[in-house]
Structure 1
Amino acid sequence: MAPRKATPPKEEPQAEPESEPKNEDKVRNELIWRHMSEKDQFKYFSLAEDVDAAGEHLAAVLKLPDYKHDTRQSVRLDYATHVLNFGRRLALPPVKMSALFTISQSVLEVAATGGMRERAQEILQSFLVGLCRAEPTPDDYFLSVEQIGAVAKFFAGSLLERFAAFRFLFTREQPRREAEVSLLFETIQLRQDFHEAFIEEEWQRHNEELAAKAEAERAAAEEVRRQEEEKARKQAEEQAAMAAERRRQAEMAKVPQSLDEAVNQLVAMRLSEEKQKLEAAYKEREAELLHRIGQLEEEARKSAGSGGKGGRRK
């Protein structure tokens, strides 16, 4: 009987290796929305009419907090603004605009890190060659031949033409001095329209009213200040008087230990009573005098009024 052949072991199916992302996907991830999101880009262009607001927004996106005083941050902001405005003139869709912005930042970093102009040209050429398509769609990040030519011309006439200046700015320390100076200068007073002008009498009356209003406001402020000071003074006097009275009451409440203390306590009581009587008399006298002064002032006003109405007879 012939021996059986041994059956070979079954091979287990091997797991398929994970597919690597396509080259186009890698490029897209490196280019699109790397430095600013689609929302930030939209907001920047929506603020185009307000230059200051657009600049503040772009500075916040690029993390340039000191762009108003730091020269390097200011140059970065101006450069980014220049690139975005160029992309808008070229009517690039948001995705293509993002690709252009990423390319511009990559080329700028060569100058900022002290690289050579030739290296910046190589990076720019590599990007543009990879993005060039004969018929790109509006939704992808590729550029047409005409757009590639416009972008190359733009960088050649801006960053690459002034590459040495950019590299010098970012790699050499520059002294900076800040100072504040107050200057007095005369401004032009624009002439009013004829129908809004005053005649001389109205103008004088207008100025008098303004002066009277200013004087009244000053007097009111002065009166408020005087009343506050008077209130504070009275409060201080009352507090001092209350403290003195508490001390006096404490002294009088003590049980005299000797004849001298008893005499002093009795004298203090009599002095307090006399003081209260004198204060009451002074207040009554003060009220009478104020009343009399008011009567005299009223009589004087009446006398002056009656004298002004009469005239000298011929």
Structure 2
Amino acid sequence: MCLLMMGTAFGESGWQPLWQPKENTPGYDAAAPAEYKLDAERTTSIHMPAYSLYLPEGRPGKPMPAVCIFPGGAYCILALDLEGSELAGWLNKQGIAAIVVKYRVSSDPKHPERFPRQLMDARRAIRTVRSHAKEWNIDPDKIGVIGFSAGGHLAALATTWTGPLEGETDDAIDKISPAVNFGMFIYPVISMGRPYTHSSLKGLFPQQYVQGEGMARVSPDRQVTEQTPPLFVVQSADDFVSPLNSLDIVRAAQEKGVPVEYHLYRTGGHGYGVRLQNKPTDAWPQAAEQWLKQFKPEN
């Protein structure tokens, strides 16, 4: 595969912890093993959530939008390059700040990372960006999220979740709003309790979230309201994650009058990020670039 041409990132921060000191991380497990790479594309055993900031060169005088990026990986691994740093370069090329979020995932039954820790990490990342808005020249009212596959589920939860989240800390950053101003879900997992619910959601949630009101709470399509911000959704008809997932949240958005742009491509499969593969899905980054212009400052 070849890559779309990326802009040069300015001032990449490297990984920074979302909570300091690390013992303040909700659900901190001192006995958890260190993260490691399964191969060039996959990292697992992530127990210390972190973020990496990418700022574009030639930052505009006016505050710019920012996007928190949630890579996919079935809530077991993260594709930190394919659906992380490569996306940051693509966003930087458009003059948009990018924050890759390394949220907690594990495939180790001895040290599981179950919900709601991932949503805590996502909300903490959004709050962290908003807390640094002036320093990073970011518009605090134009902070969005983009997520891929299971990361699409997390991005959708971060976009639609309202009210408190049990277990969050009460420090200065967690008192800042985690509200999202736009959401982008790329080949997302969305729905719980459906015949087509993807296996990445099974086993992730404690018992209180697998039925009734709890299950509806972790199905982002059922949490869309008139106040949900604009959405951009992409999937292909031949995706092994049923396209009914993306259709669920698109339908919910339309029912509530939420602006939504939806691209369902004939072929493209799953897990392509912004890499070109000579398939119809190659067109999605250009469509997204046009859509993102509504959030960029006027010259």
> In which range does the TM-score fall when normalised by the shorter chain?
under 0.3
Q: Whose helix proportion is higher, 1 or 2?
A: 1
Larger strand fraction of residues:
2
> Under a length normalisation based on structure 2, what TM-score does the superposition of the two structures give?
0.24
